Structures are given as C-alpha cells and as structure tokens.
Amino acid sequence: MPLRFYNTLTLKVEPFAPADGKIVRMYTCGPTVYNYAHIGNLRTFAFEDVLRRWLLARGFAMKHVMNITDVDDKIIRNAGAKNQTIAEYTAEYTTAFEEDAAKLRLQRPEYMVKATEHIPEMVQAIEALTAKGYTYQSDGSVYYRISRFPEYGKLSHNDFSGIRAGARVDVDEYDKADARDFVLWKAPKGAEPFWDTPFGPGRPGWHIECSAMAMKYLGETLDIHAGGVDLIFPHHENEIAQSEGITCKPFARFWMHCEFLNVDSQKMSKSVGNIYTLRELMEMGHAPETVRYLLISVPYRKKLNFTFDGLQAAKTTIDRLRNFKMRLETAKFAAGVSEKLTERAATAVQSFEDSLDDDLNTAEALAAVFEYVRDANTAMDSGEFCAGNVAGAFDLLRRFDDIVDVLRPTVTETGLSDDQITLKIQERSAAKKVKNFALSDQIRGELLEAGVVLEDTKDGARWKRK
C-alpha cells in the first residue's frame, strides 16, 4: 500500500506524493509567542515533526515553513502592560519556543518566519483581494466579505450560505456559530502600535499572516498544510478564502490536523488553566524525550489523554529499548546467524514502515518494534540470538530512532563528574548485593539519563559516556 494521509478537505484517506514528485511544500501554523508553549501545543508540533521525518525517510525533500505569530491582540495587550515594544515582549517567548523545540528534538523547518517581518507581503495580499472585490472597510479596519467566496465552509464542512451579509467579527478566534466577515487589517485603538499602509494604519489579522507567508515561500498551491484541529475553523477556512480569492487555485492539496491533548477529557489550554509546559515537566525530573515519546505514541487523529502514569509508562518503554540496545552493544553472542531471527527483524521493519505509511499510525509502528524486541530478548536468553543477527537488530533500531528519536539520553545540563559516577555505581552494586533490584535499576536509569552507559562484567560494572 502506498503512503497515504487523511485529508480534512475531502474527509478521505488518500495516497500522498508531492505535486512535483520530489519536494514536499509544507506549511505548519506555528506558535503565538505570548507565553510558553504547553505540551498540548507541543503535541501538534511533534506530530508535524514525525510527518516531516517520515516524508524524508520516504525519499522526499522538504520545503517546510513554520510561522511565528509575533503580533496579535494578546501580545499587544501584554506588551503594553509591561511597557515593552512588541519585539521586546515576544523575543523571550520566541527563544523559549526554539529551546523547547530543540529539547523535544523537533527538526527545524527550512523556514521559520515571523509575522512582523512580512507586513509588506500581507499588505500586498490585502490589496490583491481589494482589487478583486473581496474586501470592504469599516471604522478604519478592512474586512473579508465571505459571501463573495461561495466555497466558504468547504474545509470545515459547514454550510454558511444562510449567513447574514455584512455582519463582522474583529477578533481572530471565534466559533462556527459566529461566522462573519473577518478582519484582514485592524485599525489601532488608542495608543496601540501600528504599521502605515495605503489603506490606513493598523496591524494584520491573524489569518492573512499565514496566507501571505505560505504563498511567498511555497507558491500558490502547497502540498500539505497542517495544524491542530482547532485551526480548521476559522483559521484555515479563512486562509483558503484569502489565498484562493487571490489565486483562483487550490491553496493546499492536503489538510492535516492533529487532535487535542486533553486533561480529564478537556482540551489542554491556557484559558482553562490545565496546562503543563515542557520546562515544568523537566523541573519535575522528566526527560524531554519521555515527553516526546508520550506525545507521538498516540496516532495524531486520536485524542491523547495526558496523565503522569502515561508519562511514567513512556519512560519505562524507553528504558527497555535502551537496555536492549546496550545488550546488543555489549553481550557476547554465539557465532553464526539464526535465519528465523533475520526474518523476524525484516517483518518488524516492514510492519513499522507499513504502519507509518498508513496515515502515520504511530501506535502500530511502535508495537511492531516492541514485539520484535521482546522476541529478540527471549532469543538472547535462550542463546538462539547469534552474532549474525546483531546488524539486523541495529538496523531496525536505527529506522525506529530516525523517526521516534528517543534512544539518545538528554545529557543533563549539570552533568556528572567521574567521582559522582563511581559513587553511584558503588551504590548500585550495594543495592544488587542485597537484591534491591528496583533501586539498582533506578540508578542504572539515572546514569543513562545523564549519558552514562553501564556494562556489567564479571569484574564489576564498567562505564562509558555516550
């Protein structure tokens, strides 16, 4: 079966290849930098990371654009309250986002672009819409006339034909029930910061940002446009109305949306106040790759319920895989090869790849790897696993980690000195002597997290830094 993705536009799973057969032109809506990203936001970005890694693994090149929304109502309000410029206020959160993304091992898109650095492109887009009769002005702001775009509603599959023409909405986020002519350019209120344009002073609405930047870097028709499900309406619906209004061409061939990360069946969001940031979880002692694993272990179209038990389970799974890798690296296997295990590794690779081709079914892809690891461990215990099977096992782990990327432990910023490591190893052997294996495993895990690999030999434990 070919690579295929669910397309929100058609409500179908469809075979995917980029239009030119080579380069995937992908746009993903990035963070609004008015605060730290929470792990709900990060779930969507982690899904997009798996998507781009899998497209690369399938041999395509990527041209991936992510925007940074560094001007909006909340940013203007918060910057004003702190007596800062927009740029001063957003700098801290932009850096924080980049740090979180790096810790979570999100590959950096080819283009990370800021809204405030693309005002001329947005002005041009609004002028193009005006020239074609899609806009009108009211109280100094410019609005998009949705009745002028008969296909409005085609992405969210809503029928807006009965909507009252001329009713307007000034905020960027609103409900289907409040579908109205939306704002492209907002007149400043009071002492708010503004840009001068031929159609008056003001600042861009959120939706025009993405249309203008996506088309600047990726052309009129993208291969993939992605984001969280909450962006389907109004944000992506409005992007289609704007871009297709200008070009009369399909704006994106595939629309992909990641389901929510929930807490107790409620969307994790700043307004509900049920959020965790990556840094909070790290302060509690969780490694970023544990969070990464948890976020990507549930297929992106299913809701993910966040719990600390789930986080713990993710850690246990990673530890099991790391221990398996270490066993491969350090154990002595009999010469020769078991054909059965060679075959077993090949089926695991096949099943891992088939599952990701199937609309990124990460749960099944991961299951294929664990089942193999379980069988291989059993075969090692019984002496059936041979030296000739090591390469096949490594090959599977490499393919797994090219996408999942959790095997390398994050080296803690403090690190451990050689003396501290020796001390921990002594503690561990003492624990083993009294058969406190829970403690000895815990110490081994802590060392691994600090980038120290242990090897038990008959002369005691040896260690090396990763």
Binder of residue 31, out of Zn ion, ligand AMP, none (CB less than 5 to 8 A by kind): ligand AMP
Q: How far is the CB of 303 from ligand AMP (least distance, A)?
A: 9
CB 321 within 8 A of CB 407: yes
Name which of 19, 50, 40, 156 is nearest 402 in CA terms: 50
Interface with ligand AMP (CB under 6 A), residue from 44, 135, 197, 242 = 44
Closest CB to ligand AMP among residues 295, 450? 295
Applying CB under 6 A, does 105 fall inside the site for ligand AMP?
A: no
Dihedral over alpha carbons 437, 284, 108, 31 (to 10 degrees): 150
Name residues whose C-beta falls within 8 Å of residue 416's C-beta, 6 or more positions apart in sequence: 424, 447, 450, 452
Closest CB to ligand AMP among residues 228, 409? 228
CB 208 within 8 A of CB 122: yes
Interface with Zn ion (CB under 5 A), residue from 9, 24, 29, 222 = 29
Closest CB to Zn ion among residues 29, 104? 29
Q: How far is the C-alpha of 53 from the C-alpha of 440, rounded, in Å?
A: 36
Applying CB under 6 A, does 29 fall inside the site for ligand AMP?
A: yes
Name residues whose C-beta falls within 8 Å of residue 152's C-beta, 6 or more positions apart in sequence: 146, 160, 237, 241
Interface with ligand AMP (CB under 6 A), residue from 5, 16, 24, 32 = 32
Applying CB under 6 A, does 50 fall inside the site for ligand AMP?
A: no
Closest CB to Zn ion among residues 210, 450? 210
**DSSP character for 195?**
B
Q: How far is the C-alpha of 18 from the C-alpha of 21, rounded, in Å?
A: 5
Q: How far is the CB of 408 from ligand AMP (least distance, A)?
A: 26
Q: How far is the C-alpha of 132 from the C-alpha of 342, rounded, in Å?
A: 63
Interface with ligand AMP (CB under 6 A), residue from 71, 142, 231, 369 = 231
CB 25 within 8 A of CB 222: yes
Counting every residue written for the chain, the total comes to 466
Q: How far is the CB of 371 from Zn ion (least distance, A)?
A: 39
Closest CB to Zn ion among residues 29, 450? 29
CB 100 within 8 A of CB 36: yes
Q: How far is the CB of 99 from ligand AMP (least distance, A)?
A: 16
Q: 177: part of which helix (H) or strand (E)?
A: none
Q: How far is the CB of 212 from ligand AMP (least distance, A)?
A: 17
Q: How far is the C-alpha of 215 from the C-alpha of 125, rounded, in Å?
A: 10
Name residues whose C-beta falls within 8 Å of residue 10's C-beta, 6 or more positions apart in sequence: none
Q: Which residue is nearest to ligand AMP (CB)?
A: 228
Applying CB under 6 A, does 228 fall inside the site for ligand AMP?
A: yes
Q: Judge residue 160's burial from the number of C-beta atoms within 10 Å of its C-beta, 0-12 exposed, 13-18 middle, 19 or more buried.
A: middle
Cα end-to-end span (Å), the chain: 38
Interface with ligand AMP (CB under 6 A), residue from 8, 16, 25, 31 = 31
Closest CB to Zn ion among residues 258, 369? 258
Tokens at 34, concatenated: 């008015």
Applying CB under 6 A, does 297 fall inside the site for ligand AMP?
A: no
What residue has token string 């600090």? Answer: 450
Binding mask 200-219 for Zn ion (x = CB under 5 A): ----------x---------
Applying CB under 6 A, does 89 fall inside the site for ligand AMP?
A: no
10-18, 193-201, 258-266, 337-345 -> range binding ligand AMP (CB under 6 A): 258-266
For β-strands 266-267 and 252-258, DSSP reports them as unpaired
Closest CB to ligand AMP among residues 84, 269? 269
1-9, 26-34, 131-139, 382-390 -> range binding Zn ion (CB under 5 A): 26-34
Sites of contact with ligand AMP (CB under 6 A): 29, 31-32, 40-41, 43-44, 227-228, 230-231, 258, 260-261, 267-269
